[in-house]
């Protein structure tokens, strides 16, 4: 599974800008899980991921962090990173299948 997590906080102007840049991206990647975490309300989750600055975007493929953006990231760069994570995931899954089949 590919997951994209946007870490924000209510007082962060750059976070609002990042949300605008991300608008509708879930529709383009319907097979990707998108979450938003407010680091002030969900401090434990932010600490778990080691996030201290906002906006921060983390991209995971099969539970492994494959990319990280701190600050505002352009839409095309984010889309490319998500696509790369999906490819990483597919490659990992295929290697696992090959390993099991011998």
Q: Which two tokens stand for residue 20?
A: 């605008």
Q: Which two tokens stand for residue 46?
A: 């932010």
Q: 54: pLDDT confidence band, cut at 50, 70 and 90?
A: very high
Average pLDDT over residues 34-42: 97
Residues in CB range of 49: below 8 A, 6 or more apart: 5, 7, 58
Average pLDDT over residues 12-36: 96
Report the pLDDT value the prediction gives residue 76, as an integer from 0 to 100: 97
Report the pLDDT value the prediction gives residue 92, as an integer from 0 to 100: 56
């Amino acid at each position: 599974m590919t997951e994209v997590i946007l870490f924000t906080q209510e007082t962060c102007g750059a976070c609002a800008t990042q949300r605008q840049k991300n608008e509708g991206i879930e529709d383009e990647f319907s097979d990707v899980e998108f979450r938003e975490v407010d680091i002030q309300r969900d401090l434990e989750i932010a600490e778990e991921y080691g996030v201290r600055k906002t906006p921060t975007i983390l991209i995971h493929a099969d539970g492994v962090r494959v990319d990280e953006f701190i600050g505002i990231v352009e839409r095309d760069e984010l889309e490319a990173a998500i696509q790369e994570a999906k490819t990483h995931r597919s490659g990992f899954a295929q290697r696992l299948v090959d390993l099991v089949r011998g």
